[in-house]
Amino acid sequence: MFDNVPDWVWWVAVIFAAGVIGQFGKSLTLKILGLFSKDNMEPEVKPAIEEGESEATMDVKKQKKLTKSELKQAKKVVKAQAKHN
């Protein structure tokens, strides 16, 4: 049955099968490791405020990041409108 198949097709099939088996092995390993690591996970901790840095300073930094993201979003909208015109 497989006597008429060229060698290169045979090797492609073997490599494909090895990849499929490897992918299933990887996902199974990650699931098993996930079962054991969930018990030992620590809760998330808020980043510590650096020495000399106050809550107000942290709020200013967050506000600045928000302003930058709003500016980027506005630029995207203007660019999209310019494309459609």
Domain that holds residue 67: 55-85
CA 8/CA 10 separation, integer angstroms: 5
CA 40/CA 38 separation, integer angstroms: 5
Do 37 and 3 fall into the same domain?
yes
Query: Is residue 74 situated within a structural domain?
Result: yes
Query: Is residue 75 situated within a structural domain?
Result: yes
CA 63/CA 61 separation, integer angstroms: 5
Query: Is residue 59 situated within a structural domain?
Result: yes
Do 4 and 31 fall into the same domain?
yes
Query: Is residue 1 situated within a structural domain?
Result: yes
Do 36 and 63 fall into the same domain?
no
Query: Is residue 23 situated within a structural domain?
Result: yes
Tens of pLDDT, residue by residue over 35-78, are 887 655 555 555 555 555 666 676 777 778 878 888 888 888 88
CA 85/CA 75 separation, integer angstroms: 15
Give this prediction's pTM.
0.36
